[in-house]
Structure 1
Amino acid sequence: MNKNRLENFSDGVFAIAVTLLILNVKTPETKDLKNVQLNQVLYNAIPHMLTFIFSFLVIGVFWVAHHRIFSFVKVLDSHILWLNIVYLLFVAITPLSSAILSEYPFLPTAILFYTSTLLVIAIMHLVLLEYILRNKYLKHEALTRDVYKAAQRTAVVGPLCYTIAAAASWINAYISFFFIIGAMVFYIFFSGKGIVEEKMITTARKEAQ
């Protein structure tokens, strides 16, 4: 299978997932609303909007991570295709878990479902990375052991934070939210620096030549 086909298919799943997120934000059905009533409707929509914004960014983080992984892949085999399918399966589930969380943001089951979905995606990221490294015929020469170790150190932050968030869902919802947000902030602002990013740029330049 052509690598471009896999990347295009994956991008399509990510695009559909982020589009479905906005469907959780409902507009008022009554047209004859007064301003006071509209204010109340907007106030009630705050949990839905916050969950949409956060989940949009989280899926964006996973899309960037997915792009980084496959920048180190030269050829594909059936195993990596199916690992990628499982990865995308849980990306596609994210709008559902996000919708439930937006409706019941402080219920442990809603938080557990949401964090578990993110946890499985983060674990699949590690599985894909490990599989690519162990199969030399798949990987680009830029994916050295040092690059892998650097990527692995970054990748374990997500599963660690999501596991703590899931466990904390039965103790305090705010603790769960703290670790979920913490993982997202880390990946947006800190994971794009260092040897992994440098090797990605080098790989892209070589492929462009």
Structure 2
Amino acid sequence: MEAFSDGVLAIIITIMVLEFKVPEGHDWHSLIELSPKVLSYIFSFIYIGIYWNNHHHLLHMVRTMNGRLMWLNLILLFWLSLIPFTTAWMGESQFAPTPMALYGIILLLAAISYRLLQLAIISQHSGDSAFVKSMGRDWKVKISPVLYLLAILTAYVGPWVSGFFYVLVAAIWVVPEKRIEHILRSE
């Protein structure tokens, strides 16, 4: 499941970069015109990287692979696979409200899917395990959906306000999660 997921995430990043078209001009100004597309790509690349990193660590805690985990993982990958579409739309529209809101909806659904996968993996462990205890304190997974909702709601107030919430969630998650690594080392 990890190898399949890694492949899907690599394809998602590849699809995003293939959205870039060579500028028609041959000067720096031509590149500057691409800045909304480049910015949306960088941002989504960071998000995919965050999911890849955390997903990798989470899968190390799987005790028994089963159909439920495989389907929950596939649902997560489905929502993540829509990021290239919303990324391209944000860049093309220069961060118009509806593409910004849709981006948040996709990120919210991916976050919910990640949490469901996390809960399914947690259910494979005893309630007093270090893994279960550490996941109970996972404030990032609890605050992210709230921030995504705020981003969605503020997209029509101001796309840059919405963007602030997306940046905030990414900033929270970009620091690698060390809890699972500590648990694996102590077992």
Q: TM-score w.r.t. structure 2 length?
A: 0.90
Residue 22 of structure 1 pairs with residue 17 of structure 2? yes
Q: 1:93, 1:157 → 2: CA distance?
A: 22
1:170 is aligned to 2:156: yes
**Equivalent of residue 112 in structure 2, options 97, 109, 123:** 123
Map 1:1-209; keep pairs closer than 5 Å: 6-29=1-24, 33=25, 38-136=27-125, 141-144=129-132, 146-151=133-138, 153-189=139-175, 192=177, 197-203=178-184, 206=187
Q: Where does structure 1 lack aligned partners over 5 or more consecutive residues?
A: 1-5
| Runs of at least 5 residues in structure 2 that lack an aligned partner in the other structure | none
Asked if the contact 2:17/2:41 (under 8 Å) is kept, the reply is yes
TM-score by length of 1: 0.81
Give the drift of 1:12: 0.3
Aligned to 1:3: none
Could you tell me whether the CA contact under 8 Å between 2:64 and 2:124 is conserved in 1?
no
Residue 142 of structure 1: CA displacement?
4.2
AA at the equivalent of 1:147: S
The answer (yes or no) to whether the contact 1:108–1:170 under 8 Å persists in 2 is yes
Give the CA deviation at 1:39. Answer: 2.5
| Residue 205 (structure 1) shift | 6.8
**In the TM superposition, what whole-angstrom CA distance separates every residue of 1:2-59 from its partner, at most 9, and x where no partner exists?**
xxxx000000001111111112221125xxx5x5xx2231111011111111110011
Distance 1:204 1:8, change over 3 A: farther
Q: Deviations over 1:173-207 (max 9, x none)?
A: 11101000011011113x63xxxx2442341575x
Residues 18 and 28 of structure 1: CA distance in aligned 2, closer, same or farther (over 3 Å): same
Runs of at least 4 residues off by over 4 Å:
none
How many angstroms apart in 2 are the aligned matches of 1:199 and 1:93? 28
AA in 1 matched with 2:120: Y
Q: Distance in 1 between matches of 2:112 and 2:51?
A: 11
| Alignment length (residue pairs) | 186
